[in-house]
Amino acid sequence: MARVFLGLGSNIDPELNLRLAIDELERRFGGVELSPVYKGPAIGFEGPDFLNLVAAIETDVSPAAIYAEIEAIHTLAGRVREADSFSSRTLDIDLLMYDDLIVNEPPIRLPRPDVLDYAFVLRPLVDLAPDLRHPQTGKPLKAHWAAFDDASAPLTRADVIL
């Protein structure tokens, strides 16, 4: 069984859409471990704040099959893909890491290249797996977080129960 990490975010009816995503992940993959939920500003565009978290699952399903399930969940949430990737969205689920796999076969890129770039991804990932080593750097995620400039994209823990 592989340990898989998924980033979840929404800034359109976020509690409703994140709950839908979690319910669907549980239905499709079984148990889901969740990080705390964080609230942060939209990055790259003007829009409502996002709620973000990371979910961990254990599965034998391939990365390509997980990607297909993610797209089906996006459809259930009414996600409309904009030409501009920086826009408000009902739901965004990203495949962040799949064990220590390194894959570069678009649309599958593991680990997701921006795992180390955004506080809203790295912070909740560290909450779930601080000692997990990034497959490309070999460093524990907590070391990456310790070096991260979190003032560049402030997050607050959201008082949200999903």
162 within domain boundaries: no
Tokens 């829009």 correspond to what residue? Answer: 47
| Verdict on whether the full-model pTM lies above 0.85 | yes
pLDDT in tens, the chain (162 residues): 999 999 999 999 999 999 999 999 999 999 999 999 999 998 888 889 999 999 999 999 999 999 999 999 999 888 776 645 667 889 999 999 999 999 999 999 999 989 999 999 999 999 999 999 999 999 999 999 999 987 777 899 998 888
What residues pair up with 125 in beta bridges, in sequence order? Answer: none
Q: Which two structure tokens, joined as six digits, stand for 152?
A: 């560049």
CATH code for the domain in which residue 30 is found: 3.30.70.560
73 within domain boundaries: yes
What residues pair up with 94 in beta bridges, in sequence order? Answer: 7
Give Cα separations from 138 to 7, 100, 104 (angstroms).
Answer: 21, 10, 18
Domain tally for the chain?
A: 1
- Supply the range of the domain harboring residue 100: 2-157
CB 71 within 8 A of CB 80: no
Amino acid occupying residue 45? F
The pLDDT of residue 79? 77
95 within domain boundaries: yes
83 within domain boundaries: yes
Burial class (CB in 10 A: 0-12, 13-18, 19+), 38: buried
